């Protein structure tokens, strides 16, 4: 196991520059502390100028670092279980080049079935690196020579056999890596939190003052899985409704009826909620 400090020392001996990929969600204080002390050419918002630009305020950032001694960096290193992102090194001092590389790998699929690839999540990164062949690892990491990240309860380091500029292949191998159950669950909670931060910021902030938001989100996601509500619009509907009354028990009509499919269950509940909220007729 290589600690970040040991990894950084090796990268310095190799003449590599140091970078940080940081998820804004859950790390706003650390992100803002780093932003306040850097010039514009020392960081990049990786959602800016992409189809995810509407989420730029809570998107991942790429920072160029000179040291790990900054107080915000030390907080991150002491709490890796927050899954805040990962460290990287590169011979390139061109921050724009690295940003272009990851932006090109951000959006997957074709409309209307596009999705965001969470390359900034250390769990996603580690899972991909464990399954990629050497040439695929180079296509994935591009100009990055090495990465240091938290995986399975310990620090890990991985290396790129041929750093450089690469086009995104027609069928990226890193998109074919099956997530583990823990990884998938963690990503689902993160995605739910992001959605509510954009669409229900005030209610989410109020809830956070009263209880742990992740506990509520996890409970609702487990309920959605039990009911077979896995479509994004079904999960979002459940989350928003529960956020409006987090301490109240679900009305009886929400329970699935005998021989009711997940789709007919959802449609019935949705129509009744719309009626009682005055938005539709039964």
First to last CA, the chain: 61
> What are 202's two structure tokens?
């005030």
Q: Residue 23 burial by CB count (10 A; 0-12/13-18/19+): exposed, middle or buried? A: buried
Question: Following DSSP, what letter does each residue of 240-253 receive, concatenated?
Answer: HHHHHSTTSPPPGG
- pLDDT score of 1 more than 80: no
DSSP secondary structure letter of residue 280:
-
Q: Tell me the pLDDT tens digit for each residue of 221-261.
A: 889 999 999 888 898 899 888 888 766 778 889 999 988 99
Q: What pTM was estimated for this model as a whole?
A: 0.70
Q: Tell me the pLDDT tens digit for each residue of 99-121.
A: 999 999 998 877 666 678 889 99
Q: Are the C-beta atoms of 116 and 106 separated by less than 8 Å? A: yes
Q: Note the pLDDT of residue 210.
A: 66
Q: How many CA atoms lie within 13 A of 91 on its CB side?
A: 10
DSSP secondary structure letter of residue 17:
E
Q: Among 131, 147, 120, which residue's Cα sits nearest to residue 52?
A: 120
């Amino acid at each position: 196991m290589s600690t970040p400090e040991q990894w950084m020392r090796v990268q310095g001996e190799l003449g590599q520059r140091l970078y940080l990929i940081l998820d804004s969600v859950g790390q706003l204080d650390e992100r803002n502390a780093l932003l306040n002390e850097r010039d514009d050419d020392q960081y990049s918002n990786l959602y800016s100028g992409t189809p995810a630009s509407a989420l730029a305020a809570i998107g991942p950032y790429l920072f160029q670092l000179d040291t790990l001694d900054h107080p915000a960096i030390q907080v991150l290193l002491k709490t890796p279980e927050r899954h805040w992102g990962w460290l990287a090194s590169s011979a390139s001092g061109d921050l724009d080049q690295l940003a272009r590389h990851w932006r090109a790998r951000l959006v997957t699929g074709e409309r209307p079935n596009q999705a965001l690839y969470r390359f900034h999540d250390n769990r996603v990164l580690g899972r991909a690196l464990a399954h990629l062949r050497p040439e695929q690892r180079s296509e994935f990491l591009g100009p990055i020579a090495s990465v240091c990240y938290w995986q399975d309860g310990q620090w890990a380091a991985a290396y790129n056999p041929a750093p450089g500029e690469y086009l995104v292949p027609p069928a990226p191998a890193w998109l074919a890596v099956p997530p583990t159950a823990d990884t998938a669950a963690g990503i689902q909670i993160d995605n739910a939190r992001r959605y509510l931060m954009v669409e229900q910021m005030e209610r989410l902030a109020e809830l956070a003052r009263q209880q742990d938001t992740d506990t509520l989100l996890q409970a609702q996601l487990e309920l959605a899985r039990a009911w077979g509500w896995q479509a994004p619009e079904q999960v979002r509907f459940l989350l928003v409704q529960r956020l409006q009354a987090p301490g109240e028990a679900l009305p009886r009509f929400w329970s699935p009826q005998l021989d009711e499919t997940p789709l007919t269950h959802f449609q019935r509940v949705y129509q009744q909620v719309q009626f009682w909220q005055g938005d539709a007729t039964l």
